[in-house]
Structure 1
Amino acid sequence: MKFFWTFFWTFLLVHMATYVVSSMQGNAYDFASGSLLAVVATVIIIVIANVIPNDPVEHH
């Protein structure tokens, strides 16, 4: 379920950023490039989340 929500929010935020950047540059909005960037960003976020250790920190 966490993978779905990660993809959902990444998809929305990347499409929002793609729309804003393309509007600022005066280009047409491209749904396909936003979707591709969303998938790539989701994979990167999931990989980074799995690589970071989740061990508790010991207090000295």
Structure 2
Amino acid sequence: HFDLDELRAAVAPRSLLCIEPLDHLKRPLSSVEAKREYDLVRRAFRALGAPKAFRLLAGPMDL
């Protein structure tokens, strides 16, 4: 058993790009919600000296 945040954090310090993350009901997260939900992942990358290896693209954007 594992938590998805723990799995994502385990990728650090390798690159990870999350585009348009969804909530548990498969609805898109706003940029504010995504930043809150991915905080553990961001902290793991920062702790391993690779803050730029994690990118989170959420909310209105042009891809």
Q: TM-score with structure 2 length normalisation?
A: 0.31
- The structure carrying a bigger strand percent of its residues is 2
Give the number of the structure with larger relative contact order, counting CA–CA contacts within 8 Å between residues 6 or more apart. 2
Q: TM-score with structure 1 length normalisation?
A: 0.32
